[in-house]
Copies of this chain bind each other. A is one copy, B any other.
Amino acid sequence: MYGIFSYGISTPRVGFKHGNYILDLEVVSLLGYFDDLAINPVVFAQPALNDFIALGKPAHRAIRQRLNELLDNDASAFAGVHNQVFIHESRTQMHLPVRIGDYTDFYAGIHHAENVGRMFRPTSDPLLPNYKHLPVAYHGRASSIVVSGTPIRRPNSQFLQAGKPVFGPSQALDFELELGLIIGKSNPLGESISVDEAEDYIFGITLFNDWSARDIQRWEYQPLGPFLGKNFASSLSAWVLPFDELEPFRVAGPIQEPTPLPYLQTTGKKHFTLELEVWLQPAGGDEICIARSNSRYLYWNFAQMIAHHTVGGCNLNIGDVLATGTISGSTPGSYGSLLELSWNGERPLYLSEAISRTFLADGDTITLRGWGFLNGVRVDLGDVTGTIHS
C-alpha cells in the first residue's frame, strides 16, 4: 500500500507500507534502486500521490516488482541503509494520500438502500424505481475529506425537534462503512469511459467513512440531496491499496434483474470479496466490533459506477474519490451504519450491559477495517479511524 507520510522535520513524501515500517520511497529512489526503471524521483517527493499515480499502471507494476525483489531475503538489498529507508510507523505522521479534485458518493449497497427505504417509506417498495436501472450517486464535498485519525467535530445545523426547526449540535451523528476508489487516469470532458475499460481508471482502493448527521440530513435533503448532513467531514484511509492487489478476490456479483442497459452490462467477475468490519470504542472503554460486512454485497460493481459516472461526458481526474455508499449485508449484524444497527434509534445497540448507542456519543472512536482472504492469500486495506468531539 502507498501513502504520504512525514517524520521528524522531513517534508511529506511517498511511502510503501511494510509491516510496522514505512519504506521511504524518496530515499529508495535517491539511493538509485529505481534508476533502471526510468522513473523521475521527484514523484516520490510530493505531498500527494497524484504524480506517482500519473506514472500509469506499467510503471506501478515495475515499481511493485522491484519492491518485492528488494524486500525479499530480509531486505538484505538495503544492507547499510536500513535506517535511512525503513521508518518505524510510530515515528511518522500520515497525510491525506491524494489531492482530491472531486468526490462522488454512490448508493450501491442494496441492503442499505432497502433498509433506509423500509424506515422512511414504510408503506411503499423499499427501493425507488431507478435503483436497479442505474447506480444512484451524488456529488459530495471534497474539501472536508480528512485522513484517518483526524478528530471529527460534531456538526451544528438545523433539524426538526417536535416538528419545529431548531439549531444545535446533531443528535444523530452516524458513520457509514464504505470503500473509496482512487481514480488513476483522467478522461477528457465530453468523452465517456466504457464499462469494459473502466477498471483501467482505478488506481487503488481505500476504506472510507462518510460521517453523516441524520437529523440534519433528513430536514435539508429535499429536493436536491444531502448537504450539511455530510459535508462537515469524511475520513479516508491513509493507505491506498493498488487495484491490482484485489485480483485474487474477484467474485461474481449478484444477478442484476432487470438486465441493465447495454452501457452498464458487464461479464465475468467484477465484484470483490473483501471482509469489512466496524469497531466502536467509547471514551475510556474497550473497542467492540459492531458490524461485519463484505464488499460483495454491493449491487453495482466498480466498472458500472465509472461507466455511468462518465456516460454523459463528465470528466474524472487523477485523485478523484468515488465512494461506494454504505455496504450493509442482509442481516442486522452486517449493517454498515448506526441508522440501520439501531433502526433509526428505535432499538439501541448494546455494547455492554451498561453501554448502549443509538447514534454516536462524544468521545466515541469508530474504526473501519478491511481485508481480502481467499485461497490462502491475505491482503489488508488501510484502516480508517476517527474520534468524535463536540
Contacts and interface: CB of A to CB of B under 8 A. Distances in A.
Given A153-B190, A261-B158, A138 B313 contact: no
Interface string A110-143: 0000001000000000001010011011111111
A141 B139 contact: yes
A345 interface: no
A137 B228 CA distance: 9
A85 interface: no
Nearest to A190: B153
Contacts of A133: 158, 165, 219
Interface stretch (A42-50, A198-206, A314-322): A314-322
B233 A189 contact: yes
Copies in the complex: 2
A92 interface: no
A139 B56 CA distance: 30
21 contacts: A101-B142, A130-B222, A134-B219, A136-B220, A136-B223, A137-B227, A138-B226, A141-B314, A153-B190, A155-B313, A156-B312, A156-B313, A157-B311, A166-B261, A167-B262, A167-B263, A190-B232, A213-B312, A228-B311, A228-B312, A232-B314
B102 A314 contact: no
Q: Interface size bucket, A side?
A: 35 or more
Interface of A: 101-102, 105, 107, 116, 128, 130, 133-134, 136-144, 146, 153, 155-158, 165-167, 189-190, 192, 213, 216, 219-228, 231-233, 261-263, 308-309, 311-317, 320
A311 B105 CA distance: 22
Contact of A261 (B130, B141, B146, B165): B165
